[in-house]
Amino acid sequence: MIIVLKPDITDKEFEAVVKKVKELGLEPKVLQGEFLKVIACVGEERREGLKETLESLYGVEKVLQVMYPYRLAAKEANPKGTKVKVGDIVIGGEEFVVMAGPCSVENEEQVMKTAEGVKKAGAKILRGGAFKPRTSPYSFQGLGEEGLKLLRKAADKFGMLVITEVLDPRDVEIVSEYSDILQIGTRNAQNFPLLREVGNTRKPVLLKRGMYMTIEEWLLAAEYILAGGNPNVILCERGIRTFETATRNTLDLSAIPVLREKTHLPIVIDPSHATGKRNYVPSMAYAALAAGADGLLIEVHPEPDKALSDGAQSLTLELFSNMMENLKKIAPVVGRKI
Ligand code: PEP
Ligand code: MN
C-alpha cells in the first residue's frame, strides 16, 4: 500500500500518519521524491476499511492499494490454473466443454428432444432452468422440482451431466440432489447468503458475472464461495449492461485475457444471454474459443418460437449442430479438444 502525502503536510501530521501505520501493523518506509513524499507500507493490506482509514488522516493526499482484495481467487493461489472435475469431465483443461439446453425446462418431450440433439452434436452437459429468475413475477417461473427431475432423467438417458440454476439458499440442497453443477445467475451474483450456502457444498458452482459487476467485484463474489471451502468455482461471462441496445447485453470478451491474468479459475462464455439474438450466438462462440475460454453455455430449443423463455436467443438443434461442427474445426488450431 502506498500513501501519497500532501505537499504541505506538517511534521506533526506526518508523525501521526507514521504512528497510525505502525499501529495498524504495517511497516512504513518513507520515500522522498523531488516533488512528493510517499510512505510505502509493507504488510497485509487486504483488510476491509484499511485504505479508507489511512485516506482519512490529515496530510494524506491518496492511498494506492497494490494487492488485489481477493486472495483465494487470485492467480497466485494456484498459478497452474484450476481444473474443475465434474463426473468424468474436466473444465479448465484441454477440453473445450459445451453445455447446452433450453432456457427453461418446459416438459418431458422438449427436454428429451433437446438432450438427444445437443448430445449428438457434441455437448457434454445439459443445461435447463427449473427455478427461473424472471424480471416479471407474472412470467413463467419454471417447473421447480419437477423440472429438476426431467433434466436429470434426460441427462441420464443420453449420458450427460446437468447444470441448473439455484435461486434461493433454501433450495441448494434439493438442486444439489439432481444437478452436477450449481449455476448462480447474473441477478444473484452478489447474493451473499446464496454464495455462502453454495460455498458450504463441494459441488462445482458456475458463477455468472452480475450484469453490473466489475471483474474485481466478480472475483470477490467467487472469493465468498472459495472462502467457504468450495474450490470448484467456474466463472461465466454472460454480457454486461452498457449503453448499447443492438444486443441484449454487451459480451465482454476481453474479460477472458483479463481473468487469465488475475485468476486461476476456469472461464465459460454464455453468448446466448450476452447477445439475446440467435443469429449472433455462433460468431461469439467461435470468438470465445479463440480467445481462450474453457467452455460455452448455450441455449437450444427444438422449437424456439414456442419457448416459454428466451426463444429469440435460442438456437434450433440444426443451428447448434452447425455451430458445433465449426467449433470442432477451430479447436485444434487453438490447442483445444471438443
Ligand atoms: C439462464 O442461464 O437461463 C439465465 C437466467 O442466465 P442469466 O443469469 O445470465 O440471465
Ligand atoms: Mn435464459
CATH, residue 169 = 3.20.20.70
46/105 same-domain check? no
CA of 305 to the centre of ligand 2 (A): 14
- pLDDT at residue 66 is higher than 90: no
- pLDDT at residue 45 is higher than 90: no
Q: What is the number of residues in the chain?
A: 338
The residue-averaged pLDDT of 61-88 equals 94
Asked if residue 15 belongs to a domain, the reply is yes
- pLDDT at residue 44 is higher than 90: no
Pocket of ligand 1 contains residue 133 by CB under 6 Å: yes
40/125 same-domain check? no
Asked if residue 78 belongs to a domain, the reply is no
Ligand with an atom nearest the CA of residue 165: 1
| Atom 4 of ligand 1, residue of closest alpha carbon | 185
Sign of CA dihedral 176, 182, 187, 190: positive
> Which of 12, 32, 65 is the last residue before a domain boundary?
65
Residue 214 burial (C-beta neighbours within 10 Å; 0-12, 13-18, 19+): exposed
Number of domains in the chain: 2
51/156 same-domain check? no
Band of residue 67 on the pLDDT scale cut at 50, 70, 90: confident
| Atom 8 of ligand 1, residue of closest alpha carbon | 185
Pocket of ligand 1 contains residue 103 by CB under 6 Å: yes
Q: What CATH number is given to the structural domain containing 6?
A: 3.30.70.1140
56/91 same-domain check? no
Per-residue pLDDT at 337:
97
Q: Using an 8 Å Cβ cutoff, are 302 and 316 in contact? A: yes
Q: Which residues pair with residue 27 across a beta bridge?
A: 42
Pocket of ligand 1 contains residue 186 by CB under 6 Å: yes
CA of 61 to the centre of ligand 2 (A): 47
Range of the domain at 45: 2-65
123 φ/ψ angles, rounded to the nearest 5 degrees: -75, 145
Asked if residue 49 belongs to a domain, the reply is yes
**Residue of 105, 143, 183, 308 to test ligand 1 pocket, by largest number of atoms within 8 Å of CB:** 183
Asked if residue 285 belongs to a domain, the reply is yes
Pocket of ligand 1 contains residue 119 by CB under 6 Å: no
CA of 185 to the centre of ligand 1 (A): 5
pTM: 0.92
Can you tell me which atom of ligand 1 is nearest the CA of 132? 5
Q: Using an 8 Å Cβ cutoff, are 21 and 28 in contact? A: yes
- pLDDT at residue 68 is higher than 90: no
> Which of 65, 95, 113 is the last residue before a domain boundary?
65
Asked if residue 74 belongs to a domain, the reply is no
Residue 71 CA to residue 45 CA, distance in Å, equals 11
The residue-averaged pLDDT of 63-85 equals 93
- pLDDT at residue 94 is higher than 90: yes
Can you tell me which atom of ligand 1 is nearest the CA of 127? 2
211/259 same-domain check? yes
| Atom 10 of ligand 1, residue of closest alpha carbon | 186
Looking only at the bridges linking them, the beta strands covering 2-5 and 60-64 are antiparallel
The pLDDT tens digits of the residues spanning 247-262 come to: 999 999 999 999 999 9
The pLDDT tens digits of the residues spanning 191-246 come to: 999 999 999 999 999 999 999 999 999 999 999 999 999 999 999 999 999 999 99
